[in-house]
């Protein structure tokens, strides 16, 4: 008997290997368990078995998660979106003025003093989609690198958010609009996030749109040769990312019942971190929505856990940045390993 008979074949090893999302979920469980043990040892309290704390974590994850779904689509194409946080602020400030109670004249609605809840919702979505359209046109038609195009939008959108109300916060929303953030027993943001994640999970996995997105990120030249209109598809991707940033803004301001020009700071980095932790490759062509959802949960548990353990905020930022770098290093290692196997 040869010695190779006892060595598992390559296909057998691949079958035994856990899917990426399963591995990430195991990491999530391990991190949660570590914070639970640390909670009892350091604080003398349970971290996980506190319903109020868990609700806060999940609600925070929901807003970042909605943005992260759009960012995942962008990263899969090999791009990046640095404007998400500023688009959240811009969409929030503009839409909030349409959501205020008893401030609109009865010109168009003689029997109502408030606009229907869907009006500010549509305004917020439209503002986000418009920002995404500008990003997509700049990237798809002028060939500006996504980093530069979205960086410019990040600065411009933040400026518009401050200019629109001269930096003043907007509050006093109608009850109908506030339902987006407090309905279903305050779980409406989570329901919206899960619905968005499910829709785009199905889209990316089972539709031609998803196949085109992966193809562009994996090999743009081959995608173009196969007949994919790359520029048109990229515009659609960035419009979706902007639309989801606008939706996240509506959920966020409806939950806290106020809109401020400074909101959304660093949301884009949190969304990118959630996607990268969830296994989305910054090189493009690889990553799933399910992984992004788990990545958002990991990020939310870690940040809440550090706060629970009374770790200073600046240490949290250092740790968050280190996690992003480590996730990219792991991704690069995986990519290099795959390329060696092909050779």
Q: DSSP readout, 147-184?
A: HHHHHHHHHHHHHHHHHHTTT--EE-B-HHHHHHHHHH
User: Do 283 and 331 contact (CB within 8 A), yes or no?
Assistant: yes
Q: Average the pLDDT over 122-148 and give the result.
A: 95
> Angle at CA 317, nearest 5°, toward 242 and 261?
40
CA 34 to chain centre: 25
pLDDT digits (tens, 9 = 90+) for 267-282: 999 999 999 999 898 8
Number of alpha carbons in the 13 Å side-chain half-sphere of residue 197: 24
pTM, two decimal places: 0.88
Q: Any residues with CB less than 8 A from the CB of 196 and at least 6 apart, and which? A: 65, 66, 69, 244, 247
How many whole angstroms separate alpha carbon 200 and alpha carbon 180?
A: 20
Work out the mean pLDDT of the chain and round it to a whole number: 86
Listed range (39-53, 106-120, 237-251, 315-329) with the worst mean pLDDT: 106-120
The encoded tokens of residue 69 equal 């779904």
Render pLDDT for 289-340 as a digit per residue (tens, 0 to 9): 999 999 999 999 988 888 888 888 788 788 878 877 887 787 777 666 555 5
With cut-offs at 50, 70 and 90, classify the pLDDT of residue 207.
Answer: very high
- At 341 the three-state DSSP class reads helix
Q: What are residue 100's phi and psi, to 5 degrees? A: -70, 145
Residue 4: count of CB within 10 angstroms of its CB: 7
Q: How far apart are the C-alpha atoms of 106 and 103, rounded to whole Å?
A: 9
CA distance 227 to 212: 10
Per-residue pLDDT tens digits for 139-190: 998 989 999 999 999 999 999 999 998 888 988 888 888 888 888 888 999 9
**Domains recognised in the chain with CATH numbers:** 21-336 (1.10.3470)
Per-residue pLDDT band for 92 (boundaries 50, 70, 90) equals: very high
């Amino acid at each position: 008997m040869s010695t190779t008979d006892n060595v598992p074949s390559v296909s057998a090893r691949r079958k035994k290997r856990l899917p990426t999302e399963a591995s990430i979920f195991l990491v999530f469980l391990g991190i949660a368990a570590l914070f639970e043990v640390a909670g009892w040892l350091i604080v003398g309290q349970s971290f996980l078995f506190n319903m109020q704390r868990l609700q806060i974590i999940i609600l925070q994850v929901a807003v970042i998660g909605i943005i992260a779904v759009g960012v995942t689509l962008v990263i899969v194409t090999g791009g990046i979106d640095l404007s998400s946080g500023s688009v959240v602020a811009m969409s929030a400030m503009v839409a909030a003025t349409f959501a205020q109670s008893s401030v609109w004249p009865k010109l168009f609605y003689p029997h109502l003093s408030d606009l229907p809840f869907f009006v500010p919702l549509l305004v917020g979505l439209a503002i986000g989609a418009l920002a995404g359209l500008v990003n997509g046109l700049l990237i798809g038609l002028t060939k500006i690198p996504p980093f530069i195009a979205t960086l410019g939008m990040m600065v411009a959108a933040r400026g518009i958010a401050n200019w629109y109300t001269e930096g003043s916060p907007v509050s006093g929303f109608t009850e109908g609009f506030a339902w987006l953030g407090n309905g279903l027993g305050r779980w409406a943001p989570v329901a919206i996030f899960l619905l968005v994640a499910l829709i785009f999970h199905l889209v990316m996995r089972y539709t031609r749109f998803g196949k085109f997105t992966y193809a562009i990120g994996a090999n743009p030249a081959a995608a173009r040769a196969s007949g994919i209109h790359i520029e048109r598809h990229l515009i659609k991707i960035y419009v979706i990312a902007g639309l989801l940033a606008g939706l996240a803004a509506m959920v966020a301001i409806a939950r806290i019942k106020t809109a401020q020009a400074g909101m959304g700071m660093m949301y884009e980095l949190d969304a990118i971190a959630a996607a990268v932790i969830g296994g989305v490759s910054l090189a493009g062509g690889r990553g799933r929505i399910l992984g992004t959802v788990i990545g958002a949960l990991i990020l939310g548990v870690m940040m809440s856990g550090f706060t629970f353990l009374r770790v200073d905020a600046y240490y949290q930022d250092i740790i968050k940045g280190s996690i992003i770098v480590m996730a990219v290093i792991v991704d690069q290692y995986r990519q290099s390993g795959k390329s060696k196997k092909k050779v």
